[in-house]
Amino acid sequence: MTGVCLLRVYRKVIMVDLSHLFAITLTLGAAVANASQNVFVRKGTDEGKAFDAVMIVMLINSAVLIPGVVLLYYPEYHLTRFSWISFIGAGLFGTLLGRMLTYTSIDTIGASRTAPIVASQALFATVFGILVLGESLTPIHGLGIVLIVSGVSLITWETSHNSLNNIPRRELLIGLVIPFGAAIAYGAEPIFASTGFNEGTPAPVGLAIKTASATLGFTLYLRWKGTLPAMSGLYTKNSRWFVLAGISNTLFLVGYYVALEIAPVNVVVPVLITNTLFTVFLSAAFLPKRLENVTWKIVAAATIVVVGVVTVTLQG
């Protein structure tokens, strides 16, 4: 009897380890896809517009994710009034506002500088969790926050003293504020999403609602501004980079959310945050220096930020 019990425990451990290994593999793929998206956006916004990138990426997200979720989960979507509101809020903050600011920042100061600053969303998520959800701040949290702040400060200093294309100082300072805005928006997103998950709504269903609400919100915003482009207006010589960014972003979202379905957050997120380093390395490898001036200080600062984010996440 004891032998049978041990065998069952062994099999369970092996299955958990294999599922975690699969989740880690998926997450690494998602991290590379997310980093590739940043590089494609940087390439496309060299002569194209950041808002065109936002629109094309969102349209591709919607075309792939929404029909897939509708078919896979029909007719039980496990949605409540609160989960609807939560995921719409997450979509407007993270998917819409966060992405608008991130792409604008990539266009202004580059992908290699934007990604580590945006990764500081873990800091803001921790602060929001303490203020809104009543979570506690531990010494390990504090260590992680110090690392994040140190890494981001180094990036800010390096960018202000070694800017691309002689960007005017005022424009450069504004450009440095933008990714912090994205980090705050991304940091607020989990507060909204957690309410929806607590209602029992599956993660992919929440993702579809987030995507739909962000796409609709952005479309209404552009219509209100009088700058909504015709579909034909999106077909420019830079569109191919934005399409590649959309495909990469969709692969990132699918890989990330599938990984979250089979492994806990403290396994998935520390692996996912490596997208920051992938962005830096891919920028250095594939983008001309006039677009991305990747220095050793940027690499070091990005590494410090990643270590800080992993520390905060593992402490949970």
198-209 residue pLDDT tens? 888 888 899 999
- Please report, for residues 1, 3, 16, 18, 84, the alpha-carbon distance to residue 9 in angstroms, rounded to integers and kept in the order given: 12, 10, 11, 14, 40
| Low-confidence winner among 32-41, 138-147, 159-168, 270-279 (lowest mean pLDDT) | 159-168
User: Could you tell me what percent of the chain has a pLDDT over 90?
Assistant: 32
List for the chain the helix, strand, coil content (%; round to 5): 85, 0, 15
| pLDDT, mean of residues 155-184 | 75
Using the 8-state DSSP alphabet, how is residue 228 labeled?
Answer: P
pLDDT band, residue 232 (cuts 50/70/90): low
How do residues 35-50 score in pLDDT, each as one tens digit? Answer: 999 999 999 998 888 9
Residue 27 contacts residue 268 (beta carbons within 8 Å): yes
Average the pLDDT over 227-243 and give the result: 78
- The pLDDT, as a whole number, for residue 315 is 63
Q: Would the pLDDT of 9 be above 60?
A: no
Does position 10 have pLDDT exceeding 50, yes or no? no
pLDDT(65) > 90: yes
- pTM score, whole prediction: 0.84
Residue 163's pLDDT is what? 58
Per the prediction, the chain carries an average pLDDT of: 83
pLDDT confidence of residue 162: 64
Q: What is the mean pLDDT of residues 65-88?
A: 92
Distance, in Å, from the CA atom of 113 to the CA atom of 121, rounded to the nearest integer, reads: 14
Q: What is the 3-state secondary structure (H, E, C) of 229-257?
A: CCHHHHCCCCHHHHHHHHHHHHHHHHHHH
Bigger pLDDT: 48 vs 171: 48
